[in-house]
């Protein structure tokens, strides 16, 4: 069982992602914006982070960059989960340190495929 941090400012998206992750048998931590996500990542050191992009305070690209560039959290894989579906968004997200990119609305099978190779065995 892994500990997965879900960062999303939409309560309905947060709930939907939480249901999928818990159904897979993982523990869920949540944050409602990028700044809180960075703080929880530093404090809790989850096994993986699901990160929305469009959020107040610190957007998901900024939060991903912070997490991937900070020595204490750089090892944590970040999967961007967002409505931003342009190729330039995907390229930018990967350049910020994301390890995978899933577009909303999230299909459960697509999310599981993105998570599996990034989780500890």
CATH code assigned at 98: 3.40.50.2300
> In this structure, is residue 121 part of a structural domain?
no
Phi-psi region of 13 (alpha: psi -120 to 50; beta: other; left: phi over 0): alpha
> In this structure, is residue 60 part of a structural domain?
yes
Give how many domains the chain has, as a whole number: 1
pLDDT tens per residue, the chain (121 residues)? 999 999 999 999 999 999 999 999 999 999 999 999 999 999 999 999 999 999 999 999 999 999 999 999 999 999 999 999 999 999 999 999 999 999 999 999 999 999 999 998 7
* Alpha carbon distance 58, 74 (integer Å): 18
> In this structure, is residue 120 part of a structural domain?
no
> In this structure, is residue 79 part of a structural domain?
yes
> In this structure, is residue 59 part of a structural domain?
yes
> In this structure, is residue 44 part of a structural domain?
yes
> In this structure, is residue 101 part of a structural domain?
yes
| Selection from 12, 11, 14, 9 nearest residue 29 by Cα | 14
- Cβ within 8 Å of residue 4, ≥6 positions away: 21, 26, 27, 28, 29, 46, 47, 48, 49, 50, 115
pTM above threshold 0.85: yes
Query: In which domain, by residue range, is 35 found?
Result: 3-115
């Amino acid at each position: 069982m892994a500990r997965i941090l879900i960062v999303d400012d939409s309560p309905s998206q947060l709930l939907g992602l939480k249901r999928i992750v818990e159904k897979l048998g993982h523990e869920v931590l949540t944050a409602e914006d990028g700044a809180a996500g960075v703080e929880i990542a530093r404090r809790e050191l989850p096994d993986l982070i699901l990160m929305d992009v469009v959020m107040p305070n610190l957007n998901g690209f900024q939060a991903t960059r912070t997490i991937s560039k900070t020595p204490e959290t750089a090892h944590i894989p970040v999967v961007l989960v967002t409505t931003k579906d342009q190729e330039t968004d995907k390229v930018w997200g990967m350049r910020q340190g994301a390890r995978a990119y899933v577009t909303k609305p999230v299909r459960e099978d697509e999310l599981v495929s993105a998570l599996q190779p990034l989780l500890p065995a």
